Amino acid sequence: MSTARFPSPTRPITNEGPFRALLLENIHPSAEEMLAAEGFQVERLSAALKPEELAERLKGVHLLGIRSKTTVPASALVNAEELLAIGAFCIGTNQVDLVNANTHGIPVFNAPFSNTRSVAEMVLAEVIVLTRQLFDRSREVHAGQWRKVATGSREVRGKTLGIIGYGHIGSQLGVMAEALGMRVQYYDVMTKLPLGNAQSVPTLDELLATSDFITLHVPATPSTHMMIGADQLARMRKGACLINASRGTVVDIGALSRALRSKHLGGAAVDVYPEEPESNSDGFVTELQGLPNVVLTPHIGGSTEEAQAAIGKEVATSLLKYFKAGATTGAVNFPQVEAPLIPGTHRILNVHRNIPGVLRDINRIVSDLNANIHAQVLSTDANIGYLVMDLDQDVSRPVCDAIAGLQTDIKTRIVS
C-alpha cells in the first residue's frame, strides 16, 4: 500500500506556454492531434520508459500519456513540478502510484469505455474458437496434417457462459453471447442490473460449477489477486474453458497449466500475464505454451484501430478539459469537480493539503486583496482539497501568488 508523500510548496504554474505533452507506448495519433490543436508541443514515443528514465523526461512536461507498460512510481513524480495530469490510455490505472499522484496534485484519467466492444468481441470469438478447437486444426493444416474430426467440437448454442465481473465489458459480452443462443450468468461483488436474460449468481463457486465457459473481467486489486487458483479451477466443470482478458494477476498460471495438462479443463484463452515484455522485440515464455486448445495472445483485447482511436480521443478530451477548465470528472484519484467557465473572469485552481483552516486562509487572501469571487467550489478527499475559484481578472495574479505561498499549498495555477 502506497503512503502519501506531500511535496514542498512550489511556485504557481501560469497559463503562459509553451506547454509540453509526453505520450508513450505508441498512443494513437488522435490524441496527439487533439493536444497539438490546443497548442501543445507533443513528443510521442513508441515504447515505455523505465521509472528512472521517466523521472528525467518528466522535467518540464505538463501532460503525460501512458498505456499499460509504463510504471509511474512516486520517485518519478518528485521532480515533475510542471506535471498537471496523467492520462492512462487504457482501462487500468494500477501502473500509476495513485496515492502519490494525488498528493502531488496530479489527477489521473483513464478510458473505461472506449475499448469495451473490442474486448467483448475478442472474448466471444475465443469462445467459438475453443469450443471448435479451431487453433489446433489450423496449426495441423499449416503443418501439412489433415485431421477432419468432430470429436470434442461443439456448438456454443445452449452452452452456459459465466462472467466474473459484470461491468461495461462483461455486460456487453453477455448481450452478444445471448444473440448466439448462449445462456448467460454472472458473478459480481456489487449488485448489477442484468441486461437481457442474464442471471446473477450469488457465489463464485456456483458460477464455476455451472458454466461451460468462464471469462474474467475484473480489475487488479488485492481482492482479485490470484482469485482463480487450483481450488477454483478444480470446481469448474470437467471440460470447461477459462478465458482471461482482464489482468494477468487474477489467474494462477501454474495452476491453470496443470488443470489443462490433466485434461480437467478443455481449453483456455489468455491475453494477459503476470509479467509481460516491455516491448515487441523482447522474448516471452509461459507455462501455457504448446498446450492443446490454448489460445495465447499478447495483451491485444483492446488493440483495434477503432478502440485505440476512441481511447486517444476520450483521454485527450479529459486531459484538455482539466487543462482548460480544471474539470476532474472521471479522474480515478481526485475530488470530482466540473464547473462552467464564467466569461470575463480568471479561474484559480488550487490543490492543497486537506487540513483545517485552509479555506479560511484562502478567503482571507481574497478579502485582503479586495477580490470579487464570482464562483467557488471546493471538493476534498482524505488527503487533499481541490478548490476551483472564479474571480476578477485584475486581481487574479496576486491572489494566485499569495495562495501558492501558503504552507498547505501543493499546486496552484490560473486558467484564463
Burial class (CB in 10 A: 0-12, 13-18, 19+), 322: buried
- Collect all residues with Cβ–Cβ distance below 8 Å to 178 and sequence separation of at least 6: 184, 196, 197, 198
Q: Is 247 a catalytic residue?
A: yes
Q: Is 299 a catalytic residue?
A: yes
Name the active-site residue from 82, 178, 206, 276. 276
Amino acid at 308: Q
* Preceding peptide of 18 cis, ω within 30°: yes
Burial class (CB in 10 A: 0-12, 13-18, 19+), 102: buried
Name the active-site residue from 299, 346, 347, 413. 299
- Collect all residues with Cβ–Cβ distance below 8 Å to 113 and sequence separation of at least 6: 168, 314
Other CB atoms within 10 A of residue 374 CB: 15
- 1 three-class SS: coil
Burial class (CB in 10 A: 0-12, 13-18, 19+), 158: exposed
The distance from CA 141 to its chain's CA centroid, rounded to whole angstroms, is: 39
Are the beta carbons of 164 and 123 closer than 8 angstroms?
A: no
Report the C-alpha gap between 134 and 127 in whole angstroms. Answer: 11
Name the active-site residue from 117, 247, 352, 413. 247
Are the beta carbons of 233 and 264 closer than 8 angstroms?
A: yes
**C-alpha cell recorded at residue 393:** 481578472
Burial class (CB in 10 A: 0-12, 13-18, 19+), 93: buried
Report the C-alpha gap between 213 and 265 in whole angstroms. Answer: 10
Q: Is 154 a catalytic residue?
A: no
Active site residues: 247, 276, 299
